[in-house]
Chain A
């Protein structure tokens, strides 16, 4: 407990009534990472469950790691097969790390700085939500996006999507997707086309790094097998390509109960049904694209597992989660097919449903309210009769 004593000594100037009291949230954020604090229950139940928000958020990060590691590898893999150089797994991994780790560092650096500032300003503890957001943002960006754009997107997302609404737990939109949407609309040349999805594609001639949905939209044949799409050996945003490793994350989220399986299953049902309907219609290449393939390309799996399930921006009631999930799935395929200029169907679908989630919940809760009113009327009738 030497360490504990050291920390307590270091924290003394930040104690209540001391000189730097207002900076206590920032210091506590580091301290509580080392130690679960010695706080005891002061009111309410005298005993408490072992789970807290930190543990919940760290579980999401653990679930993200398989997809992240594969994404790092795939970045290098896409680069080397396009340039035609011989490479080993380690080469690919190092190339990916070299590209991606700085992005993660920038995302955490900028985002946490803003979070800490707001915690000090508002006088509350630093919420752990950004630990997940900060990792998600680089994972859904194209690999060659300049670092300053990552930083700017993060700042936009944290300021506008989160803190402007009152901070963690209050936001309407998923902050990570807001960051991506910001970059997508502010810097379209860095976020779409066939030159951004493979590392250094714009510097090397002859690289064609078109995503699958991009190829479909422009009427080019898709050369990838279903297995490649599923395993993720395809161009795309950094860590969204591998349905396989996303499913590993999904298994972690569902088993621990941290992610809502209802939203995930609802999304798959909605997208599969919509894809199947379009298959029957079959008017163009995008409509003919097999409904099963729709589920494993374009970041659908990543979006539905890690983004749509964000408990704050998703629907919060059980019935609402089903409706929300199914609608995300349907809208995603709808946007992909009818608006090929935006292959980011899943991002736009989730953001749109984020906006409607409170409305869905409102009607679900209203049904409960009406049930209660009806019960009252019944009991009044029984009494007077």
Chain B
């Protein structure tokens, strides 16, 4: 079957996945393919169904309808094999407080069939990689949230997973911690060639690290692609919006703008012009205004950053 060949390229393949809780549909006919070695971000507000999707991928919840495959194994039926290949870092990961970080790792390692010398070596390597060597022999009840998260990553890596699923990995970590985490995630994908699926509602942190993103609202994937692709998708075809701030902001400026080709609409709002144009006229605009002695203070094409994209999608959904 050609379908199966196609699937082999994908690490994660989700077909029509649906989960209903009574009348409430948490995940609604989700289709998604994630390539091997890719970092995919699942973005959406709280309660969008991100966690439910990850639970179904791990076989912890049965889908109402549809199927999901990881490395061509059915997520619901072969859940044991899947769980030995997939590492899951839950949102707000917990450890046994009465055990040290090292003991916690050892316990999970033994559950994955590792023993003795090779396990100890692996634990040491991972503690070094997540920079937790100093605190490894302290009880985990004394750990801060950032330390728990780092130990959580070591815990996920102990079984050497091909695929890592992270649920809100950046939640509650300070900016420096987030930066380190993002470097680590990038490194896991690039150096080790692991596939990473991470869900988050914190856009800026995620956009830096993901190859592709999916925007997930009310159980539906409403857009999917790289940052540029998402940007292109939200723009109304044949129209683009540019914000413009110019000094000096005088009456002559408006007439110049009105005379320019390509500008369909013009709004003046708080020292800022919002131009609806037929195409991207930023180059032409800056040349012409500079020639006439104006200084451009601000010029930005709307829809080019994730916040805008995110907001636009949520607005669309709300309407």
- Chains A and B form a bound pair: no
Which residues of A are in contact with B by a Cβ distance under 8 Å?
A: none
Which residues of B are in contact with A by a Cβ distance under 8 Å?
A: none
